[in-house]
Amino acid sequence: MQSLPLSAPPGGSLTSATTWRIDCHAHVYDLARHPLHHSSGFDLLPNEIGTADQFACVLDAHGFSHGVLINPLGGYGTDNTCLTSTLMRFKGRFKGVAVIAHDTPDADFHQMADAGVVGLRFNLNFPASPSLFVPEAQRSLAIARELGWFAQVHYEGDTLIDALPVLRRARVPVVIDHCGRPDLSAGLDQPGFKALLELGREGEAFIKLASVFRFSKQGFPFEDVDPYVHALIDAFTLDRCIWGSDWPYLHAPQRTDHATLLQAVHRWLPDDADRRKVLGETPARLFGFALR
């Protein structure tokens, strides 16, 4: 995977991945320079819009050195100009994942890669997202493979089952968002979650232990998600688990912040070395952050 030079985080220098903390899932907006796009998949409330500078401030406050920005289907859709301009402005601190229309010219893919994009995302349950299930998706995935990108997949329920044959044929690394967003009322044996665990045991995919506020039924401190998270850690292993906040918490059903989400991480991973791996070492390897 392509690597880019790193800038040191505020207040220190980088010597190894063990000193990093990487928030692997956030969305940023710059409405002054990049208005919301007609391809947006859903509407936003004013308090759900955050800038890159605000996100950097949050990272600094919680001791995170780097972040991964996901082009937001809600707001920008397949317009990745805010993402790429932000990556250029924060060169080295952020990497990006784009949402890309299938008819996008090859040159645009390469320009995004030069800016720091390392993957493309499919939102399987959103009609506004470029579909994984149309023939045109094969071209997008082939370009991703050529660039050394991964395919990032956001879905709910059992949608993954139909997607797995397409993803396996693509021969690119796969990153699954938000613990697969299982239905907690359906139990650990629900077909989609069982398929996700099997994918993890194959040893080729990565899972984001992220956004538990999206599927927890109890809310903070999110203890009802613990059996699912532990099953994912067992199936994927710590070498393929990463974490993200989903800042600025679009459509969160209850008040959410980094502190409450990180408390759950400490419960799942009480060992410091395990947390260093999930928050730093594994994502640094996956996203291609380069050591100095």
Query: Domain with 190 in it: what CATH number?
Result: 3.20.20.140
Say if strands 150-154 and 66-70 run parallel, antiparallel, or are unpaired. unpaired
* 93 in a structural domain: yes
263, part of any domain: yes
Q: Has residue 1 been placed in a domain?
A: no
Question: Considering the domain boundaries, does residue 5 fall inside one?
Answer: no
In a domain, 191, yes or no: yes
9 located within any domain: no
**Reported pTM:** 0.91
Residue 4 lies in a domain: no
- What pLDDT was estimated at residue 35? 76
pLDDT digits (tens, 9 = 90+) for 151-200: 999 999 999 999 999 999 999 999 999 999 999 999 999 999 999 999 99
Percent of the chain clearing pLDDT 90 (strictly above): 80
Query: Averaged over 109-117, what is the pLDDT?
Result: 98
- Residue 218 sits in which domain range? 17-287
Tens digits of per-residue pLDDT, 211-229? 999 999 999 999 999 999 9
Strand order, beta sheet including 150-154: 22-26, 66-70, 94-98, 117-123, 150-154, 174-176, 205-208, 241-242
The pLDDT confidence band at residue 8, using thresholds 50, 70 and 90, is very low
- What's the whole-number mean pLDDT along residues 99-108? 97
Q: How many domains does the chain have?
A: 1
Q: Is residue 73 part of a domain?
A: yes
